[in-house]
Structure 1
Amino acid sequence: MVRQGQIRPARAVAGRGLIAALVLLPVAASRGTLGALRERWGTVAILAVVHIVVPFLLITYGEVHITSSLTGLLIAVEPVVIALLMSRAEPLTRGRVAGLVLGFAGVAVLVGLDVSGDRLGLLGAGMVLLAAVSYGVATIFVQRRTADIPPETLAGGTTAITTLVLTPFAILTWPAAPVHADAWLALAALGVFCTAVALLAFYRLVALAGSNRAGLVTYVNPVVAVLLGVLLLNEPLRWGTVAGFALVVAGCWLSTRPAPVRPEVTEPVPVG
């Protein structure tokens, strides 16, 4: 439930997009790469909808009804979605399947499984799960359709389009009560670090490593969150946390190992 003084989901996503676009577009302009948007605006618009507008809104609304730990676990389905969608181009080996299972188990150990929520908890979980599927589709789309667009231009274009799409909805949900300063500061941090910097790094990662490897970032996210909690907030480091780390590392290693090359069998050449 959104309380008074807080930023509603549509405004939060539009605000994140606006802040990220204001950070990224000047960078693209200084590098002379903005021209790519004029030539590929339709493709960039599709990516903006699939990678930002739809999943960001689904997660923001879904988290109103479920816990953050369940949200993290459901989003971790993304690498599995990518692996299934890419199974023709990159067949699923036993090692990759084992890696995906181990990584998901590691996330489950790290974030726990708290299924508590309000009476719309099932709907919230479904929203977050659909967001994970949308993320998976978007990751493959980046690799196949937009890998040639510079990351700062692609990230700036998608966030700018997100802002344009959601601004009318943000205006319609303008709150009557003033928004707390802490909420604005949190939105600024989300826009700069969790949107601008994150998208810039992610699009670059997809171009360099491919969608299957890039999708594994959803397994690493909880590891980073727990490490920051231990280092910055003095949270305890438990044995379950160490076990979760080990499972995630093992899963990522197995999932990214190259498939073994089978030696070619040559027919013996008859003599005489």
Structure 2
Amino acid sequence: MKNSKLLIIAAFFSIYFIWGSTYLFNKIAVTEIPPLFLGGIRFFTAGVLIMLIARFMKISLKLSKSQFINSVIAAFLFLVYGNGVFVWALKYVDSGFAALLASTQPLFVLFLLRLIDGQKMQRKSVIGVLLGVFGMYLLVSQKEISTSEGSVLGIFMILSCVLSWSYGSVFVSKADLPKNYLVSTGYQMLIAGFLLGVSSLIFKETWISPLSWSNKAQVSVTVLIIFGSIVAFTAFNYLLKVVSPEKVATSAYVNPVIALLLGWYLLDEQLTEQSVIASIILLTGVYFITSRKRIAKIKVTTKSQKI
């Protein structure tokens, strides 16, 4: 029991802090690497490494037909659309602002749980979401946050990505996937890498050799592959099976705070008093959602999902 709690804490640390840094690294990489090609090479490489690790650990890689189909669906919702299009939108939207838009995810998750499962939203969950949205508003309403040309399209696409990721969270929480979280992540990464690679060719992106990338881009992609893809995404899949989806979605509240701090520390971006206040409100929202009374998990995880 103690080891299980420590594992859950470590997994939350991964999706909170590691994923909070990926906005910065994606922004650096996408300035010189085509977005779909970036996602394809990132996820396919991560998938190959994960499968090699699984083989080394003598973990079975077998999966049923239904598990393969569900892996394709999860890969599309999370990585192909949810992440690939999100990174594309970073060409038009500031990374910190994109992270703030992503913080609306818990609201999407709670709404989907209500719509799909008829799950009643508890008072603490509603308070948490309202605090999170209010904190996001305080951050977004600052004059210091600027957007580039094409930002309206970027914002719309990012919100659609948040919806895709949110539905993926609900879907995976009860879908039949490989029991081992490493194997499940590996298959999703390989599938997404292949689909993004094909998409890159369809949209006629220019494929650039990694040897031609700048040092910053090479470091950023390496971090995204090892930590953002392998470590954090495996932790994410694990958490979706052991805690409720809306608790996992609280990472969308913490990630913007991490993104803002990294932007301030590494890119000399201004961190205002209003940003600090907004961050405190966001984290308070996290507390309210994670401290809600536990709803019977059986209803969430065993009910069949129809697509």
Give me the TM-score of the superposition, normalised by structure 2: 0.74
Match of 1:211 among 216, 239, 245: 245
Contact in 1 for aligned 2:74/2:168 (Cα 8 Å): yes
Distance 2:41 2:257 in 1: 27
1:201 aligns with 2:231: no
Whole-Å separation in 2 of the counterparts to 1:58 and 1:4: 12
Q: Please point out which of 72, 88, 93 is paired with 2:99.
A: 72
Tell me the distance in 2 between the aligned counterparts of 1:4 and 1:61. Answer: 8
- Which residue of the partner structure matches residue 174 of structure 1? 206
Paired residue secondary structure (1:90): coil
Gaps of 5+ in 1: 262-272
CA distance in 1, matches of 2:263, 2:92: 24
Q: Do structure 1's residue 81 and structure 2's residue 108 form an aligned pair?
A: yes
Cα distance between partner residues in 2 of 1:68 and 1:196? 22
Name the aligned partner's letter for residue 117 of structure 1.
S
Determine which of 148, 171, 187 is the counterpart of 1:117. Answer: 148
Give the secondary-structure state (helix, strand or coil) at the position aligned to 2:175.
Answer: helix
Return the match for 2:124 from 91, 95, 105: 95
CA distance in 2, matches of 1:107, 1:58: 22
> Alignment length, in residue pairs?
260
Deviation at 1:185, TM superposition (A): 2.3
User: Which residue number in structure 2 is paired with residue 6 of structure 1?
Assistant: 32
In structure 2, how many angstroms separate the alpha carbons of the residues matched to 1:112 and 1:9?
A: 28
2:54 is the counterpart of 1:28: yes
1:16 Cα offset (Å): 1.2
Letter in 2 for 1:53: V
Question: Gaps (5+ residues) in structure 2?
Answer: 1-26, 296-307
- Among 127, 134, 158, the residue aligned to 1:105: 134
Match of 2:283 among 246, 249, 257: 249
The answer on 1:141 being equivalent to 2:168 is no
Cα distance, 1:103–1:148 mapped onto 2, change above 3 Å:
farther
Contact map agreement 1:2 1:64 (CA 8 A) in 2 = no
| 1:5-61 Cα shifts (integer Å, max 9, x gaps) | 811011110011022113211222224131136661111011111110011222122
Cα RMSD after superposing both structures: 3.2
Residue-by-residue CA offset, 1:238-262 (whole Å, 9 max, x unaligned): 543442332122211212233499x
Is the CA contact (8 Å cut-off) linking 1:69 and 1:112 kept in structure 2?
no
Contact 1:4–1:179 (8 Å) recurs in 2 = no
